[in-house]
Each structure stands twice: as structure tokens, then as C-alpha cells.
A and B are shown apart, each in its own frame.
Chain A
Amino acid sequence: MSTRQLKFVQALAEALDLCMAKDPRVFVLGLGAPDAAAVFGSTKGLAGKYGPRRVLDMPVAENGMTGVAIGAALRGMRPVMTHIRLEFAMLAIDPIVNQAAKWHYMFGGQASVPLVIRMVVGRGWGQGPQHSQSLQAWFAHVPGLKVVMPATPYDAKGLLISAIEDDNPVVFIEHRWLYNIFGPVPEGIYRVPLGRPNVLRRGRHVTVAATSYMTLEATRAADELAREGLELEIVDIHTLNPFDETPVLESVRKTGRLIVADTGWRSVGFAAEVVTRVVEQCLGDLKEPPVRITLPDLPTPTTRALSNYYYPLVRDIAAAARRLAGRPPKPEPEIKPEAFLDVPDAAFDGPF
């Protein structure tokens, strides 16, 4: 593996660049995609290199433009749409759910929609109720969509390349707090297959099945717990639909203890799906009831005085693991309302 280190956002931009260079059918479409800010840098350099026909800005018309992207995909193109916040894609639920997800099936397999829709999940600095929602469970609920959430720079690039090359509509959800994390990213084209989750870290005591940013939080918890002799096995679920639970089951059969850490809400969320599959298939292996670590079933508050208590923290994963493993709880300092937990932890930006 290459030792070159790239940020998550650089890995995304490189994946787009390589796919556009390789395949003239690939084009990027999104509000601000060609502008100076370049969707937080994820489309950086593309407009200058490929021109306005392949890096299209668009009217503020998410519904219509998603349909346009579907039509273009049906006629031989491979559009990559970008939404700087997931919430803007909600204006396009009809084309995503009724059209893109169904087109191949409802027309008897004759046509397909090779479309990637990137959605960025925001967090912190007062993103509030409409710039922070992590709605992977919605999209993963819909047959016909693929749903991907990379957690590492390596996967960001490899999964985005796979998503662009896939013949199906792929919802590609990127957590904003992963953008500046760096890690090893090989040069050139490589693919991480959409599907089987990665076991990021081996451990004997507790399985943590995690998505997106919570995978990063789980690795931090694992580092802390390793110093106490408690080992976490981390299964990063980077593809939520189709979801292959096999690595989670294999891990639980070994550890007997399960934490599912998801960036979404609790009720009817993706964590519930993971727990259900484990309970259905290896209940007898569980030594303790599974634990979900998710957002509470509440809209995201804007003020940090409340959001400090809204997002689960590394300490919550660690505490759950200690409890499941029968270890004594560790006293933690109280979280103050005025604490600056609304920005990524500056003490850690990589390597992932």
C-alpha cells in the first residue's frame, strides 16, 4: 500500500478527476460545483481541467436537476450530482426514490440509471436542524438504491470510483467532519467494492459495527480502551444498501458483544437494522444485549449548549464497551454547556 497521505476531501477530488479523465461519460453537476469553493474542495481543479460542459453548475432546482441527471444517465452519461448538504437532496425525493431507484426494475431490466448523488452531512458550528441530518436509513430503505458512506480517505476514493462505475443509482453520503482526516491513499485508480464491510481493527472483546464518522469515533474509543486491555473489533459498514452483515455476524460470534454506532437517529434507524440481523442470526452468541449508539430522536439544536449533549461522544462508545465487557465505569468530567464540542477534535486529524 502507498504511504502517500491524503485528506478525505482530496481523495474524493482525486477519484472524480481520475474517473473524468478515464471516461468521457462522467460529468459533475451541482450547485457551486465549478465555483471557487468547489464544494469544500471536493471538486477542486475539475472545472479548470474539464471545462463548463463537464463540471456544470445548476439552477437552484434539485428536483428538476435530479430528473435531468436521470435522463442523461438513461442516455449514456454518468452524472455525479453533488449536494453541499443532504437536506437539499430532499427536494429530489421523487426522482431519487420513484424514478432512479425503480427504473431498472419497473421497465423489466431494459435500462439503468448510472447516477451518483453525493450528499454532505453537516455537523457543528450551529449547523442546526436543516444542515446536519444523516438520513442514510431513509435511502437504504428503498430497494434499487445503493447507499454508501465512506469513513476513511482510502475508502472515500475507492468507493467513489466504484460508485461512478456502477450501473445503478448510488447515494454517496459524506460526513463533513471526515473531510480533513488524512490517511493512506494510493495513486491511480483502485476500487473498493460496494458491499462487504471492512474489519478495520481486530479485537477480542467487543464488536463495534459503525458507519461514517462514528467509525472514526469508534477507533478513538478503541485506542483509549486498548490502554486498559479492552479490545474492540471495528466493522466499518461503508455500504448500507446492499448491506452484507456477514462480517458483523462473524465478529459477534467471536466477541459475543455488540455496539452499533451510527450517525443517524435511533428509532427505525440503520443501527436497528444491524441489531436485528445479528439477533435473528446469532442470538445465542450474544452474551449481553446489543447497544445502539445513535443520535437521540430529536432535531439537531443549533446552540452548542444543547448540541454538546446531542451528539454521542467517544466516551459514550468507551463506556458502553466497558459495561458490556464487565469492566468498571470510568469517571469522566462533566460536559459543560459552553464547551467547544461543536468543531472536530483538533487533537486528531489522522492518519485514520
Chain B
Amino acid sequence: MGGGSGTPPPEVARGMLRGIMRIRMIEERVKDLYAEQEMRCPTHFSIGQEGVAVGVCAHLRRDEQITSAHRSHAHYLAKGGDLKAMLAELYGKATGCAAGKGGSMHLTDVAAGFLGAVPIVGSTISIGVGAALASVLQGSPVLSVIFFGDGATETGVFHESLNFAAVHKLPVVMVCENNLYSVLSPLSWRHPEGREIVQLAQGHGVWNRQGDGNDADDVYALAGEAIDHARSGRGPAFLELETYRWLEHCGPQDDRHLGYRPPGEYEAWLARDPLALYTERLRERGLVSVADLETMAREIAVEIDDAVTYAKSSPFPTRDQLSAHLYAS
């Protein structure tokens, strides 16, 4: 896994490790702060799933747009979305990335190439395809990368969008993070036995690969192929990357007491922590030292401290903002 020509060069690999660590640390901080009940919006944590976002986004230019869904923090951060604006958004502040009107489920940072995220499963798949269509109609194709979960592959809009992207050979990469559950419902209740998600893409005649979402090098290698394919005008590409959500579907709690995870499953995935795996990998390659890791963590902690202070001290929107932004003028 992760070897061969798809291995990220040292600088990229170090950046990816930093990216995974940063998302993990931000999410852990949000998790702690969430208990204060000042972030009053449904929040879906990305902890355990950071490898996919970082491995894919490592390839992307700033102007290339991505879309995501309800669990979007990792994608937003990996794409370079502004951390201060994200935390302020979670606090409902005027300085938030959506001026407080969106919350965790509606992040956006178009300048950073994060077109938007919404919690209606499947909805941003077609919107991401439309972004790619616009670029083609404008005569300068720009890659559009669409992140979604296994549940989204059950929607009609997924199939409709995949079909249309294939018909017009649009520069689209669809990244399915298969974390085995749609809320609490396991794949076996929702998908026929023996049918892999990638086969759906195959059925639409779309280039596809399946890989290990917790191995950032594997993600990087597959994403590189997929992105090359889509950027070169050969049509859309589809990746199914298996990963695992550690926390409850929505919120900061451990949910193992609910009993929907088979015995041993959680522990097996915990042993395949994308952060620990990648730290170990780069240590083996001699790309980071213990001191480097400490420096990274310290720098990230300072950045988070600053962002939290900014978000907490930012003003709430004023009452006149209630009726602002109904229509664009």
C-alpha cells in the first residue's frame, strides 16, 4: 500500500502529516469546547476519517473547487478553508464563514476552493458536477472534487450526477468515504451482499478505484490517478475509500454503548488510526523526527488557541442581519 510512483514526495508527505494532525487537533478541541454548549449547531466530527480529505486535497490547486456534506470539517480544513471563520461559524458569529447563518453543516470558503457543504445527503454531488460543467462551458475546465459518504451512493441524485458527468466527460472526481454506517444503519441493511460501491461507478462506465482511506499514502496515490484522469479530459473518476467514524454520528460523544458496532470493530479501526499510521510511516521513511512532531503540534496548538479566541470574542450578527441576504441584488 502506498508504495511505488504514487508515493508523495517528502515535502508533500510532511505537509500531509501536518494536515492530518491539524484536523485531529482542531476536532479534538471542538469536541472539548462543544461541552460548553456555546457551539449551538449539529456537528458531525471527522475524527478517524482525516486521511481521505488530506490525501486527496494534497493534489489540489487552490482554485479547484470541492464540495462536501454534513461531515465536512476535514474537507474544509484540508482544502485550506479559513480556521478562524470555521470556528466563528460554529459559534454563530458574524465573522463566521457563513456569517453565522450556516453553522457546522454549511461551511464555505470559495476563495480557498471550498464551494460549500450541506447536510441533505447527495445534494452537493450534482452541484459539484454543475461547477465542473460551468468551467467547461466557459472554455477553461477546472477540476471539481466531490466528497460524500456511503449513504449518498444510495440516492438518485448520485446516479443522475454520475451519469451526466460521464456523458459530458466532465472534470469531476467523486470521493466516497465509506465509513460503513449511514447514521447507525450498517451497509448490510442498505446494500446488496457482494456488491461493492465502486461497482456502481463501473456500471456508469466511470473510471474507478477502491482503497484504504486510513492510509494517507494509499489515498494520495489513488487520488493522483483519479485527478490525472479527470483533469486530462477523459471524464469523471470515482474513488471508494474505506474509513471509520470514531465518535457518534452527530455530536462529540462516544457511542459504543449503543451496541450497533460489532464487537472488536471499533478497536480494529482504532488500531488503524490514520494519524498514528502516517506518523509511523514518515518516521520509518526518516522524514520526521520526534522533535519535528512536537514542533508541529505546538504550532498547531497556537493556531487553534488564536482561532478559538477570535471566534469566542467575535460579535454575534446584529438583529438587522435577520432579513439580510434573502435575495442577492
A-side residues, CB < 8 A to B, are: 27, 53-54, 58-59, 61, 63-77, 94-95, 98-99, 103-112, 114, 143-144, 146, 167-168, 242
Contact = CB atoms under 8 A, between A and B. Distances in A.
A320 B101 CA distance: 47
Interface stretch (B23-31, B129-137, B173-181, B230-238): B129-137
Of the listed residues A53, A95, A109, the one surrounded by the most CB atoms of chain B closer than 10 A to its CB is A109
A73 B130 CA distance: 8
B224 interface: no
B243 interface: no
A75 B132 CA distance: 9
B23 to A, nearest CB: 22
A71 B132 CA distance: 8
A111 B127 CA distance: 13
Contacts of B104: none
Contacts of A76: 134, 138
B157 A63 contact: yes
A94 B161 CA distance: 14
A67 B116 contact: no
A72 B131 contact: yes
A69 to B, nearest CB: 6
Interface of B: 65, 96-102, 106, 108, 110, 115-116, 118, 120, 123-135, 137-138, 144, 156-157, 159-161, 163-164, 167, 324-329
B130 A69 contact: yes
B134 to A, nearest CB: 4
Nearest to A91: B156
B160 A108 contact: no
Contacts of A69: 130
A94 B101 contact: no
A53 B139 CA distance: 11
Given A59-B160, A61-B164, A75-B65, A68 B129 contact: yes
Contacts of B106: 106-107
A44 B329 CA distance: 31
A65 B106 CA distance: 22
B133 A107 contact: no
Contact of B127 (A27, A99, A104, A109): A99
A306 to B, nearest CB: 34
A98 to B, nearest CB: 5
A146 B137 CA distance: 26
Contacts of A105: 101, 325-326
A72 B101 contact: no
B110 to A, nearest CB: 6
Given A65-B164, A73-B134, A104-B328, 15 more contacts: A59-B160, A64-B125, A64-B126, A64-B129, A64-B163, A67-B124, A94-B157, A98-B123, A104-B325, A105-B325, A107-B116, A108-B100, A110-B99, A143-B326, A242-B327
Nearest to A112: B328
Contacts of B97: 107-108
Given A64-B156, A94-B120, A70 B130 contact: yes
B99 A108 contact: yes
A72 B164 CA distance: 13
Nearest to A75: B134
A114 to B, nearest CB: 8
A264 B242 CA distance: 49
Given A94-B123, A110-B98, A72 B324 contact: no
A101 B129 CA distance: 19
Q: What 10 A-B pairs come out closest when comparing CB atoms?
A: A71-B130, A67-B126, A64-B160, A108-B99, A112-B328, A61-B160, A75-B134, A109-B325, A68-B130, A167-B328
A66 B133 CA distance: 12
A223 to B, nearest CB: 38
Given A64-B157, A67-B161, A146 B129 contact: no
A168 B328 CA distance: 6
Contacts of B100: 108
A71 B133 CA distance: 8
5 contacts: A64-B156, A64-B161, A98-B118, A107-B98, A107-B102
Nearest to B121: A94
B327 A67 contact: no
B102 A63 contact: no
B329 A108 contact: no
A54 B100 CA distance: 37
Nearest to B102: A106
A77 B164 contact: no
Nearest to A167: B328
A68 B137 CA distance: 13
Contacts of B167: 59
A109 B320 CA distance: 14
B108 A72 contact: no
Contacts of A70: 126-127, 130
B275 to A, nearest CB: 31
Given A63-B156, A70-B130, A98-B120, A77 B137 contact: yes
Contacts of B134: 71-77
Contacts of B164: 58-59, 61, 64-65, 68
Contacts of A144: 326-327
A237 to B, nearest CB: 18
Contacts of A146: 327
